[in-house]
């Protein structure tokens, strides 16, 4: 399913302009290395929240997968190989049945966000879900 079109919500553009898209890049700095006390870009404690697919069996990852892409769609929506086809993605229920993670409400979304945005992060300065969600939410617009 194409997530580039305005009538579909431009999800790709929203992600590309987000901190999630650059999450791995932030680990490739001297400041990050100082915080990590070593190479942040190689530290599992950092990678678990700064990249998608950390800790996943590499044989399960697509050849196009790159940790340099930071926090990608599948971090929140689940592995997409079974639901990524247009035929399935056009139907939300089929997408969920094929493995896409669906959230019952914003409280469930917030719980997912807080799995990384929490006190375990050495840079944690609080997390205002409402403010951050307003920046990253990317619904498919209602038809009509």
Please write the tens of the pLDDT for every residue from 118-132: 999 999 999 999 999
Specify if 116 maps to a domain.
Answer: yes
Record the pTM. 0.87
Q: Do 41 and 63 have their domain in common?
A: yes
Three-state SS for 62?
coil
Nearest by Cα to 49 from 115, 124, 128: 115
**Residue 127 CB-half CA count within 13 A:** 16
Specify if 1 maps to a domain.
Answer: no
Q: Do 36 and 82 have their domain in common?
A: no
Specify if 58 maps to a domain.
Answer: yes
Specify if 2 maps to a domain.
Answer: no
Render pLDDT for 63-75 as a digit per residue (tens, 0 to 9): 888 889 999 999 9
Q: How many domains does the chain have?
A: 3
Q: Please state at what angle helix 129-136 crosses helix 106-113, rounded to 10 degrees.
A: 100
Domain that holds residue 67: 10-71
Nearest by Cα to 27 from 7, 1, 47: 47
């Amino acid at each position: 399913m194409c997530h580039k079109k305005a009538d579909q919500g431009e999800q790709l553009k929203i992600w590309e302009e987000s901190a999630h898209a650059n999450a791995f890049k932030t680990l490739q700095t001297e400041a990050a290395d100082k915080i990590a006390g070593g190479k942040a870009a190689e530290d599992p404690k950092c990678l678990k929240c700064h990249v998608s697919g950390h800790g996943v069996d590499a044989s399960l990852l697509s050849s196009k997968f790159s940790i340099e892409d930071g926090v990608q769609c599948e971090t929140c929506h689940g592995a997409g190989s079974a639901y990524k086809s247009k035929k399935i993605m056009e139907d939300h229920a089929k997408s969920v049945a094929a493995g896409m993670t669906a959230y019952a409400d914003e409280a469930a979304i917030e719980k997912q966000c807080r799995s990384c945005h929490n006190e375990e992060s050495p840079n944690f300065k609080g997390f205002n879900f409402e403010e951050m969600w307003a920046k990253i939410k990317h619904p498919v617009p209602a038809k009509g």
